[in-house]
Amino acid sequence: MSNLRIEKAQQYLRDHGIDLWLIVTAEGKDIHSPFLLGARCFGRHAIIIPKDGSSVAICTLMEAPMARKAKQIEEILSYKKSEEFIEKLREIVYKISKKPVIALNYVENLYKEGGEAINTLTHGDYLALRKIFPDATFVSAQGLLENLRTIKTPEDVKLHEKAVEIALGAMEKAVESIKPGITEAEVAAEAEHFMRKRGATPSFPIIVASGPNSADPHHETGERKIQEGDLVIIDLGAEYKLRVSDITWTVYVGENPPELFQRMFNAALEAQRKAINAIGPGVEAWKIDKVARDIILKHGFKEEEFPHSTGHPIGIDVHDIGPLLGERGKSKRAEMKLLPGMIVTVEPGIYIQGKGGVRIEDDVLVTEKGHRVLSRTPDKLICI
């Protein structure tokens, strides 16, 4: 059984003098479990990745067959009683090393440096592990997780492409459904229905922001009826086999958009396309943001009318770890370099309170030579 993710993790463990990587979790609290297992187990279970040799998981009797069928972890053991879980865990770990150095899913400097998405070990699990392995040294799996999550394997990229394809289909359904009198919630339901039929779910609550609501980038979809003369922002993503997409289109309801709306759209589009063109390996993330921000300001829009970052990495979380396409100095993550295999969103927007907003968002893969746009936003303002 060959699993590129596990091979990468094992290489990292060997390079850093760590004996094993251990995940112990229950009730879906650690997203890295389905990422490695290929199945969602809710009972308490452990995944053990040793620096050499076979990967092992210990699952409940009920969930072990499901984990075996996923064929990601080489050996799946099962247990009935919690004592049995502890015994098996001790046996496997001490077979790897008598004084094990164990990587766990927490970050060292959370408040200063962030890393929420990978800080998934609970304090209770940590205390339990301290008791089970009194002579172990625990270290953070942060570097390992950053490596595994930010740089996508070819298989990851395929799953992201599928998540994008489903999101684009859902977007087309949503746009087709727009007419004066339909509510934001009804438009969102059309998109979600499309995703569900294709084995996907929304990767976050679908945003349909109409009229003045479109001036709030994170508007909560409600029961407002869409009217002629509205700008409508639709921001949605599909989660397919744990990989997410995140795209945004903006449309106008009516035949002739006012000059202001057309200017907003043209500026956002130019900012978005030029920011995408600046993406390539080795480029610091803030530089992409600067390209977009400078264009929006050049068009005469104010700083506060583009109040968010240009983009963020996506992966198994919508706002994943890695380089943030934001203003320099805003976060340490803005100084990080884009590397081949990363996927980021590019989503500049312009928002004018009381009038409306425009946002255009694509998902972009960084490649060895430059980039590849995985989604495709329209290059003109769609008028319905």
Residues making contact with Mn ion (CB under 5 A)? 246, 345
Half-sphere CA count of 258, side-chain side, radius 13 A: 10
Min. distance of Cβ 169 from Mn ion in angstroms? 18
Residues 76, 59 contacting (CB under 8 angstroms): yes
Min. distance of Cβ 345 from Mn ion in angstroms? 4
Q: Which of 93, 28, 29 is nearest to 58 (CA)?
A: 93
Point out which residues pair with 201 in neighbouring strands.
239
**Can you say how many angstroms the Cα of residue 176 is from the centroid of all Cα atoms in its chain?**
27
Q: Which of 333, 252, 347, 250 is nearest to 292 (CA)?
A: 347
| Closer to Mn ion by Cβ: residue 59 or 191 | 191
Q: Which of 266, 343, 363, 357 is nearest to 307 (CA)?
A: 357
| Closer to Mn ion by Cβ: residue 161 or 246 | 246
| Closer to Mn ion by Cβ: residue 155 or 220 | 220
Min. distance of Cβ 237 from Mn ion in angstroms? 7
Q: Which of 229, 153, 231, 238 is nearest to 192 (CA)?
A: 238
Min. distance of Cβ 167 from Mn ion in angstroms? 11
Gap between the Cα atoms of 164 and 251, Å rounded:
19
| Closer to Mn ion by Cβ: residue 72 or 310 | 310
Q: Which of 68, 72, 21, 71 is nearest to 46 (CA)?
A: 21
Gap between the Cα atoms of 316 and 122, Å rounded:
19
Min. distance of Cβ 248 from Mn ion in angstroms? 7
| Closer to Mn ion by Cβ: residue 103 or 168 | 168
Min. distance of Cβ 228 from Mn ion in angstroms? 28
| Closer to Mn ion by Cβ: residue 46 or 209 | 209
213: left (phi over 0), alpha (psi -120 to 50) or beta: alpha
Q: List the structure tokens of 166.
A: 């489903």
| Closer to Mn ion by Cβ: residue 122 or 201 | 201
Min. distance of Cβ 291 from Mn ion in angstroms? 17
Parallel, antiparallel, or unpaired: how do β-strands 243-244 and 238-240 relate? antiparallel
